[in-house]
Amino acid sequence: MLRAFEGSQHARLYAQFRPEPPAALIAHVLQYVRRSSPLHRAVDVGCGSGQNTRLLAPHFGSVLGTDISPAQVAEAAGSSTSGGGVTYQVAPAEEIPVPDGSPSFRLPDGTVWTELDDIFKEVLYVHLADHWPMPTLLGDIMSKTHEAEAMISYPEIQWDEESYFIERPFSLELVLGEIASWSGYQELVAARGAADGDSLLRRTREKMCAVINDAQSRGIDVASATERRQSYLLMARKPAAE
């Protein structure tokens, strides 16, 4: 299994700068679950700092968020918005600490970090992927998502073609903060030192400022710009026991 997001500072950056999935996407997932199961218990696998876990809480009797990173779990548990019915536990995605078949729903939001053969053991599987709308990155995301689809052994698989968009007001600081929360950035800092990380953020800031200045010179109101990214949804249901 792969490990990332281990440091407490990294977990804080993740909690501060990672966006939540859109409400319409969560509503669609809940509709899918209700087709064959009451909303008793949900397990958010690879929950990170609990962004998705907290969104599930109002709809289920109980929600368990698990993550292999103690720092991420501590950040999630310390959130003042976790609410009742939500618990967090350190556990790898391949070893969920609940009896087989007990969750109504499980949400792996980070299957890139898991062994897929080991996690398709419960009632429902949902995979979320979001991306910046750039062709190269889109192709990579779609390829990995369809690769996950091919590895699911369940007969009922739903690839949702709907468009779900995460939107938030554009902010250069938000963009740079999210970059700093990426595991690749943290690995760069660990391998080469903080100076290299700072240099990357500085160069990114300079390039983005150049784009912003050019847009403003052409009369574009950057101050009211919106950051927009699309989410994709892959769902599968474990067949009922005969």
Contact 194, 94 (CB under 8 A): no
- The verdict on 131 and 21 lying in the same domain is yes
Confirm whether 2 is domain-assigned: no
- The verdict on 55 and 129 lying in the same domain is yes
Q: Which domain holds residue 69?
A: 8-167+231-237
pLDDT in tens, 124-147: 445 444 443 333 334 444 444 455
- List the CATH number of the domain containing 23: 3.40.50.150
Q: Which residue has the higher pLDDT, 36 or 185?
A: 185
Give the pLDDT of residue 9.
Answer: 79
- The verdict on 110 and 181 lying in the same domain is no
pLDDT-above-70 percentage for the chain: 66
Confirm whether 242 is domain-assigned: no
pLDDT in tens, 64-89: 998 888 988 988 888 756 566 899 99
Give the pLDDT of residue 191.
Answer: 94
pLDDT in tens, 104-118: 566 655 444 344 444
- The verdict on 58 and 115 lying in the same domain is yes
Closest by Cα among 60, 57, 47, 51 to 123: 60
Closest by Cα among 178, 173, 190 to 7: 190
Number of structural domains in the chain: 2
Q: How confident is the model at residue 120 (pLDDT cuts 50, 70, 90)?
A: very low
